[in-house]
Structure 1
């Protein structure tokens, strides 16, 4: 399973550990991913996603999963999130 947020696309970054003597060794910065179940108002069902905590805060700030997905760029979303976004658009159009 990829260490990537399904809503924002945030993934693993690399950098250096720098010691007091300025020795540099490579390291990885992992995103803070959590498994959450969010409720979609348009679909009237829960959706399980693996997202970073920053995305969770943004979802709450924007007013829920539906509002977040409709505003988010398609390039950042995972295939699962794109499918949910398509279902939300279809239910709102009907």
Structure 2
């Protein structure tokens, strides 16, 4: 069973902290990729939950 936790990450594109629920391994991946924005934009949309997909769309709209 994965270790699921809530954590607030700062989104540079949105300019605010966003609280997300991730496994600890995904949290390490977010840190390795350089932040929440980079992690979501590099992830395949099919692999994301509905909440994370919506957040990805918001970040992509602001980044463009």
TM-score (norm 2): 0.95
Ranges in structure 2 where 5+ consecutive residues have no aligned partner: none
Q: Which residue of 2 aligns with 1:83?
A: 54
Q: Which residue of 1 aligns with 2:22?
A: 51
Match of 2:39 among 68, 73, 89: 68
Deviations 1:5-39 (A, max 9, x none): xxxxxxxxxxxxxxxxxxxxxxxxx1111111111
Over the aligned positions, Cα root-mean-square deviation in angstroms equals 0.7
Structure 1 runs, 4 residues or longer, greater than 3 Å off: none
Matched residue count: 64
TM-score (norm 1): 0.66
Query: What SS is found at the alignment partner of 2:38?
Result: helix
**Cα deviation, residue 69, structure 1:** 0.3
Ranges in structure 1 where 5+ consecutive residues have no aligned partner: 1-29
Of Structure 1 and Structure 2, the greater helix share is in 2
Counterpart CA distance in 2 for 1:48 and 1:80 is 11
Q: Which has the larger radius of gyration?
A: 1
